[in-house]
């Protein structure tokens, strides 16, 4: 009976847009997906399903992405939008958008296990795409996988009960 109650509670939470974040890219804990009824904007913190690309498959194999309900069997990401269509993103030692350096955007040459990381080439964010970032130093974000389609955005990310370890 207790197991049934737990299963029903989890199902209800997921159907209501609640998610548990277990990654350090944003505070750990309970979050809610808020529907986005306007165009995505700079500084929006969003839940997004990454596209099922070769880069995401490699990220899954390397353990950067958790299992979940998005295409490719991965969990949604929580990231901040730092560039939208038409903006120029320059990737060097850190990231600049339209000539402005993004804070906490230095690039890692290797992951936590010593494997090489390849930065995404600089360029213009194409129509229908956004460039994502997390200030967490070990974050796997658009610095490495590039712009992602806005069609993958599930909604805004709202903290409900979170903590920073």
Residues of the chain with pLDDT under 50: 3-13
| Helix H or strand E encompassing 19 | strand 18-21
From the number of C-beta atoms within 10 Å of its C-beta (0-12, 13-18, 19+), residue 72 rates as middle
By the 8 A CB rule, do 62 and 115 touch? yes
Question: Which residue is it, tokens 């229908």?
Answer: 128
Specify the pLDDT at position 27.
86
Task: Write the pLDDT tens digit of every residue in 49-80.
Answer: 999 988 898 999 999 998 898 988 899 999 99
Return the structure tokens found at 120. 């995404």
Q: What is the pTM of this model?
A: 0.87
Give whole-number Cα distances, 110 to 58, 129, 138, 163, in Å. 14, 26, 10, 27
């Amino acid at each position: 009976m207790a197991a049934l109650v737990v299963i029903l509670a989890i199902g209800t939470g997921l159907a209501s847009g609640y998610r548990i974040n277990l990654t350090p890219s944003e505070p750990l804990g309970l979050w809610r997906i808020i529907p986005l009824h306007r165009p995505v904007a700079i500084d929006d913190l969003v839940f997004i399903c990454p596209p099922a690309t070769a880069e995401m498959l490699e990220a899954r194999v390397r353990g950067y992405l958790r299992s979940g309900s998005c295409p490719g069997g991965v969990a949604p990401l929580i990231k901040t939008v730092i560039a939208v269509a038409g903006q120029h993103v320059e990737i060097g030692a850190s990231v600049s958008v339209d000539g402005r350096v993004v804070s906490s955007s230095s690039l890692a040459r290797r992951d936590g296990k010593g494997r090489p990381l390849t930065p995404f080439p600089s360029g213009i964010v194409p129509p229908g795409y956004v460039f994502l970032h997390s200030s967490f130093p070990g974050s796997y974000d658009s610095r490495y996988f590039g712009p992602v389609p806005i069609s993958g955005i599930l909604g805004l990310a709202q903290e409900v009960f979170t903590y920073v370890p």
